[in-house]
Chains A and B, each alone.
Chain A
Amino acid sequence: MRRIYAVLCSRPESVCNFIEAESISGPDTRFVYKHYATLYFVFLFDSSENELTMLDLIQVFAETLEKCFKNVCELDLVFNYSKMHTILDEIIFGGQVLETNSSEVMKAVEEISKLETASSALSLVHKSVSGWRSR
C-alpha cells in the first residue's frame, strides 16, 4: 500500500492513469487510478480486463458515492466506512463487475440500510455481549 502511494504521489498531473505493477503485486497486473480533489481511487486488475473500462468503473463508483453522500469528501468515507463497502460490494463482486448503473446500486444500498436501521442496533450489541458472558 505504501509503495503504491509512493508511486502515485510521484506522478505528475498530466500523465496517463495506468501503471504496470509487476514489481509490486506479481506478474500480469496493472493499476489504474484516478483522483478527485483529495481522493485517490486505485483499482488493481490483470490482463483480462480492459483498462479504460476500469477507469470508467472508477468514475461510476465515484458518482455513486457522490449521490450517496452529496459532495463526497474523505471525512464521509472515514466515518461511513461500512457504507462505502456496501456500495463497493454492489458494484464489484468477487473481482467482477456486477452492476454499472449507479441508480440501481443506490436502490440496493438503500434497501440494506433500511433493513439495518429497522432492527435496533442496541439489542444486537446487548445480545452479543450476553453471548460472550455465557461462554
Chain B
Amino acid sequence: MLYIYMLGYDVDFGHMEAVSLISAPKYPEKQVGYIVTSCLLNENHDFLRLAINAVRNDIIGRNETFQCLALTLVGNIGGRDFAESLALDVQKLLISSSCRPLVRKKAALCLLRLFRKNPDVVNVDGWSDRMAQLLDERDLGVLTSSMSLLVALVSNDHDSYWSCLPKCVKILERLARNQDVPQEYTYYGIPSPWLQVKTMRALQYFPTIEDPNTRRSLFEVLQRILMGTDVVKNVNKNNASHAVLFEALALVMHLDAEKEMMSQCVALLGKFIAVREPNIRYLGLENMSRMLMVTDVLDIIKRHQAQIITSLKDPDISIRRRALDLLYGMCDVSNAKDIVEELLQYLSTADFAMREELALKAAILAEKFAPDLSWYVDVILQLIDKAGDFVSDDIWFRVVQFVTNNEDLQPYAAVKAREYLDKPAIHETVVKVSAYILGEYSHLLARRPGCSPKEIFSIIHEKLPTVSTSTIAILLSTYAKILMHTQPPDLELQNQIWAIFSKYEGCIDVEIQQRAVEYFALSRKGAALSDILAEMPKFPERQSALIKKAEDTEADAAEQSAIKLRAQQQTSNALVVTDQRPANGTPPVTQLSLVKMPSMSNVDHNPAEQGVSQANGTLSVVDPQPSRPSDDNIGDLLVPLAIEGPPGSATLSGHSPVFGFGGAPNAEDALAIAPVEEQINTVQPIGNIAERFHALCLKDSGVLYEDPYIQIGIKAEWRVHQGRLVLFLGNKNTAPLVSVQALILPPSHLKMELSLVPETIPPRAQVQCPLEVVNLRPSRDVAVLDFSYKFGTNVVNVKLRLPAILNKFFQPITVSAEEFFPQWRSLSGPPLKLQEVVRGVRSMSLVEMANLFNSFRLMVCPGLDPNTNNLIASTTFYSESTRAMLCLVRIETDPADRTQLRMTVASGDPTLTFELKEFIKEQLISIPTASRAPSPVSLQAQPAEPPQPLPTSSPAALSDPGAMLAGLL
C-alpha cells in the first residue's frame, strides 16, 4: 500500500485497515500498522482520532517495544487531540524509574511534540520541579532528550523553570570540566558535544543569571571552553569542539560578560575567519555579525575589516554572503566610504544571485552614512550604471528625492547625469534618472558647453528608441520641461518636440498617450506653461523606503533566541525615533508650496482616484496626475508637473473640506498626511496599518498595529470553520496604559467572542486576550476591532480590521484531473458557477499569480489545464452552514494583455461562489484608495463630515475601514 501511495495514487481505502492494525496483538502487525499510519495520515486526519485509544493502551501497557512504537507515532504525527488525551501518560513514563532509558528518552521527545501542539497540557503544576529532577539523570541519552524538551519549555516561559538553571550549569561542569561521561558518549574525545550545546542553548533563554556562585562557575566553564579549543588535524574532532565553542561564544554574548571576555571572543573570531577550514570561517563570520547586534565591540571588530573584505572573494558563496552581511552590519560613518567603494568594486564581479542584495545594501549604506551628498549621488549613479538590472525602483526614486530636496546638489547632479548620458551603452534606469534630473535642472547648466537645451534634448532623444514604455513617459515629461525652460523659445526645438508629442498622441499605452496630449495642449498655452511646469516642490522629508525595507526584513526574521529578541527591541526603538522626525520636519515645506501657488488650489485633487467630479473650468482638464493604480512611490515621482505634490493635497485638506483627505493614492502619501494630523493628535501609528493588515491576511501571526505607546500583535490558529486568535497588547512604556477598551464589531457571518480585556496594562507588560471565531456563512465582510486607551492626556482610539477573512477558512486541497473534471462539469452555470471578465488587473506574471493564490490557501494545481496560460486552483471552504465545501477556480489569462483575465469560480453553494469570486477579484485588482486608506487614527480630525457618507466619494468612508468596506459591497 505504501508503494501505491509513493507512486502518487490515493489510498483512502486502506486507512481504516492501517488504523485497525495498530490494535493487533502481534508485533509485526502492530509495526506495520504504526508505520503505515504514520506515513499516510497527517495530524489533522479524522481517522487518527480512532487510533488514540489503541495508542494509549500501548503507552500505558507493559510491553516496552510497543511503548516505543506508540511513542514514535505520537512523536511524529501527534496532534492536538493526542496532546489532550495522552500528555499525562507520557509524562508518567518519562519520570518513572522502572522504564528503560530507551523508552524514557522517547517519551521526553514525544512530550516535546505534544507541548508544541498544545502548550497547556504540559504546563501543569509541579512539572517544573519534576523537570529539575530529570536533569539529575545519569543516563546521557535521556538527558539529551530532556534537554531538548527543556529548551522548548524555557523558550516559551522561562520564569517557571528557574530551578533548572543551576542544574544546567552543573551538567556543563560535569561534561566540560570533569569529563565525567561514559566512554561511549565521548565523540572524538569530546564529551557529548550535543548535550553541551543543548545545555548552553537552554541557558541562553534565561535572561540573566542572578546567583553569583552559579554565574562564577558558569564563567569558569566557558573560559575553559574558550581557551581550550584549538584547530586540530582531525576534521571530526575539529567540528565537535568548535560546535561547543561557538555555542559558548553565543552564550557569552548573551550574558553580556565583562569587556575582557568579550574582546577575547572577538580575538578568537578574528582568528577563525582567517583559518583554512571553510566551515569555521563561515561560522566565524556569522557569529561576528551576531556579536555586532548585541554589544558595542565594533571597534575591535573593525580591526578585522581587511580580512572580512578578503572573504568577499572567497570561492564559496555561503561565505561570501556572510561576509557581506557582516560588512553591512559593521558599517558606520567612519568606514562607510571604504566599505561602499569595496562593495561597488565587488559588484562587477559578484555572482548574479547576490547582486540584487548587494546593490540594495550598498544603496542603504550610502544613504545612511553618506559623509556628503555629492558622494552619495556618485555612488548611486555608479551603482545603477554597474548593476542596473538589480537596482530596484526605490533606489533611484530616493536619489531623485534627495536631489530635489537639496538645492546645492542640483547642478552637480545635473552635470553627473549629463556625463552618464555621454557613455555609449547605458542602462535604462540610468536613462530614467538622468532624464528626470536633466528635465528638472538642466537649465542650471545652460551656460556650460554642450549643455544647451537643444543638445540636451538631442542626447536624451537618442535613447528614446531603445527604452521601454515607462521610460518613454518620463522622457516625454523631460521634453516638456526642457521646452518650458528654453527662454527665449527656440522655434526649431519647439517644432521637434511638438512633432514627438503628436506622434505619441496615438500611442497604444494610455499613460504615454495622455501625457503626450496634455503636454501638447499645455505647451501651446505659452506663459501659463511656466507656472504649471514649474520646478517640483520639495518632497516631504520622510523615512527612506529603503531603510524601512531593511528594518522590515530585520523585524520579520522573528527568531526565538533571546539574543535576537533583544536585538529586535533595539530596532523597534529605532523605528520610533525615525518616525517622529519627519513629523516635525515637514510642515514648513508643505506650507511653502501652498503659498507659492495659491491660485492652483482647484486642481489640487485627483478626480480620477477620488471619484469626485470636478466642474471647475478649464484647468481641471489639464490635471496632470495620471490615474494609475501605482502602489509604490513612482506615483510621486512621475507626477510630471509641479502643480501639486502629494504634500500639497495633505495641507489643502484643511482648507477645502470637500476634497478632504484626498486620494491618498499610495502608501507614502498616508505617511505624508501624518503631519497634518500631528496638529490634532500627537499619537500616530508606526508603519502602515493597511499594509500590516494585508500582511496578516497572508500569514497567521504578526503585528496588527503599533504606535509609540502600544503594540498590538496577533496570532491566529484556524481549524476548519473555527479560529482562535490571540491579541497581544504590549505596553512599550514605563508608565501604565489606562482605560484600555477593546470592542469587537463582528460582521453578521462571524460569531466572535473576546475574553475580558484588562482596563490597565502595566508598564512594559504584555497582555494576551484570546478571541474565538466561528464562521457561520461565507462572506467577505471584515470584523473590526475598536480599540482605545489613554496615555497621560492622550486618548487614542483606533479602528482596526481583523484578519479573520474568507481565505482563513480555506484548507488547500489538491485535486487530480480525474476528480476535477467531473466536479467542474457537474457544477454548471450560475448561480453555482460564475464567470466574469476582470479588467484592470494588477500586472503580474503567471508564477506571481500562482504564488498569490497559494498564499491565500487556494491551491494551484499545475498541469490540469492544457493551456499553460491558465491557472486552476482548488480549496475547501469551511463554515457552519456549508460544512466542507469544495471550491474550484479557473483563471484564463491573455499573454498579450496581462491586465485582463477571465475568471470562473465554482462551488456547491451560490453565496460562496459569489463571495469567493468577489474576493479573488479584490485581490487581483489593486484598488488604490480602498486598500490604502489613510490611517484611521484621530477621526475627530475629519473636517465637516457629512452625516450620511456617500459610498466611495466621501472622505469619511475612505478612512474608516468598516464604512469603506460597506461602501464597496
Which A residues lie at the B interface, using CB under 8 A?
Answer: 11-12, 14-20, 27-28, 47-48, 50-53, 55-57, 59-60, 89, 93-94, 96-101, 103-104, 108, 111-112, 115-116, 118-119, 121, 124, 127-128, 131
Contact of A16 with B141 at beta-carbon distance under 8 Å, contacts A48-B560, A94-B109 already known: no
For the A-B complex with A52-B283, A56-B236, A98-B145 known, give 18 more contacts whose Cβ atoms are closer than 8 Å: A14-B278, A15-B318, A15-B319, A16-B279, A16-B281, A16-B316, A16-B318, A48-B561, A50-B201, A51-B279, A53-B240, A94-B113, A96-B145, A98-B141, A100-B192, A101-B140, A104-B184, A124-B28
Contact of A116 with B243 at beta-carbon distance under 8 Å, contacts A16-B319, A18-B318 already known: no
Contact of A53 with B29 at beta-carbon distance under 8 Å, contacts A17-B279, A94-B112, A98-B145 already known: no
Contact of A118 with B27 at beta-carbon distance under 8 Å, contacts A93-B109, A94-B112, A112-B65 already known: yes
Give the docked Cα–Cα distance between A48 and B72 (Å). Answer: 22
Does B194 sit within 8 A of A, measured CB to CB?
Answer: yes
Nearest-Cβ distance from residue A43 to partner chain B, whole angstroms: 13
Give the docked Cα–Cα distance between A104 and B144 (Å). Answer: 14
By the criterion CB–CB under 8 Å, are A94 and B279 in contact?
A: no
Give the docked Cα–Cα distance between A89 and B283 (Å). Answer: 29
Q: What are 19 A-B contacts with C-beta separation under 8 Å?
A: A15-B319, A16-B279, A16-B319, A51-B246, A52-B246, A53-B197, A53-B240, A55-B243, A56-B193, A56-B243, A93-B106, A93-B110, A93-B145, A96-B145, A97-B145, A115-B65, A116-B27, A116-B28, A127-B29
Which B residues lie at the A interface, using CB under 8 A?
Answer: 17, 26-29, 31-32, 65, 72, 75-76, 102, 105-106, 109-110, 112-113, 140-141, 144-145, 148, 151, 184-185, 187, 192-195, 197-198, 201, 236, 239-240, 242-243, 246-247, 278-279, 281-283, 315-316, 318-319, 321, 556-557, 559-561
Residues from chain B with a CB closer than 8 A to the CB of A97 are: 144-145, 148, 194, 198
By the criterion CB–CB under 8 Å, are B239 and A99 in contact?
A: no
Residues from chain A with a CB closer than 8 A to the CB of B279 are: 16-18, 51-52, 55
Nearest-Cβ distance from residue A54 to partner chain B, whole angstroms: 9
Residues from chain B with a CB closer than 8 A to the CB of A124 are: 28-29, 32
By the criterion CB–CB under 8 Å, are A51 and B283 in contact?
A: yes
Selected contact of B318 from candidates A20, A57, A100, CB within 8 Å: A20
Residues from chain B with a CB closer than 8 A to the CB of A14 are: 278, 315
Chain B interface, >50% SS class: helix
Give the docked Cα–Cα distance between A94 and B236 (Å). Answer: 25
Most buried by B among A17, A50, A97, A119: A50
Residues from chain A with a CB closer than 8 A to the CB of B560 are: 47-48
Closest 6 CB pairs of A and B: A52-B243, A16-B278, A15-B316, A94-B75, A16-B282, A93-B109
Nearest-Cβ distance from residue A115 to partner chain B, whole angstroms: 5
By the criterion CB–CB under 8 Å, are B31 and A116 in contact?
A: yes
Residue of B nearest to A104 (CB): B141
Residues from chain B with a CB closer than 8 A to the CB of A27 are: 556-557
By the criterion CB–CB under 8 Å, are B319 and A119 in contact?
A: no
By the criterion CB–CB under 8 Å, are B557 and A103 in contact?
A: no
Nearest-Cβ distance from residue B401 to partner chain A, whole angstroms: 31
Residues from chain B with a CB closer than 8 A to the CB of A99 are: 105, 141, 144
Contact of A50 with B65 at beta-carbon distance under 8 Å, contacts A15-B318, A16-B319, A96-B109 already known: no
Residues from chain A with a CB closer than 8 A to the CB of B76 are: 93-94
Give the docked Cα–Cα distance between A27 and B321 (Å). Answer: 16
Contact of A111 with B246 at beta-carbon distance under 8 Å, contacts A99-B144, A124-B29 already known: no
By the criterion CB–CB under 8 Å, are B72 and A101 in contact?
A: no
Give the docked Cα–Cα distance between A104 and B101 (Å). Answer: 10
Residue of B nearest to A108 (CB): B102
Nearest-Cβ distance from residue B172 to partner chain A, whole angstroms: 15
Contact of A53 with B193 at beta-carbon distance under 8 Å, contacts A47-B561, A98-B105, A116-B31 already known: yes
Give the docked Cα–Cα distance between A66 and B480 (Å). Answer: 77
Give the docked Cα–Cα distance between A89 and B559 (Å). Answer: 27
By the criterion CB–CB under 8 Å, are A59 and B236 in contact?
A: yes
Residues from chain A with a CB closer than 8 A to the CB of B72 are: 89, 93
By the criterion CB–CB under 8 Å, are A131 and B17 in contact?
A: yes
Give the docked Cα–Cα distance between A71 and B343 (Å). Answer: 48
Residue of B nearest to A124 (CB): B28
Contact of A119 with B282 at beta-carbon distance under 8 Å, contacts A52-B243, A100-B185, A124-B32 already known: no
Give the docked Cα–Cα distance between A121 and B27 (Å). Answer: 11
Residues from chain B with a CB closer than 8 A to the CB of A112 are: 65
By the criterion CB–CB under 8 Å, are A52 and B184 in contact?
A: no
By the criterion CB–CB under 8 Å, are A121 and B240 in contact?
A: no
Contact of A98 with B106 at beta-carbon distance under 8 Å, contacts A51-B283, A112-B65 already known: yes
By the criterion CB–CB under 8 Å, are A111 and B65 in contact?
A: yes
Give the docked Cα–Cα distance between A47 and B282 (Å). Answer: 15
Give the docked Cα–Cα distance between A14 and B198 (Å). Answer: 29
Give the docked Cα–Cα distance between A127 and B32 (Å). Answer: 12
Residue of B nearest to A31 (CB): B318
Contact of A121 with B141 at beta-carbon distance under 8 Å, contacts A15-B315, A50-B243 already known: no
Residues from chain A with a CB closer than 8 A to the CB of B140 are: 101
Give the docked Cα–Cα distance between A47 and B144 (Å). Answer: 18
Give the docked Cα–Cα distance between A57 and B243 (Å). Answer: 11
Residues from chain B with a CB closer than 8 A to the CB of A57 are: 194
Selected contact of B148 from candidates A19, A47, A96, A111, CB within 8 Å: A96
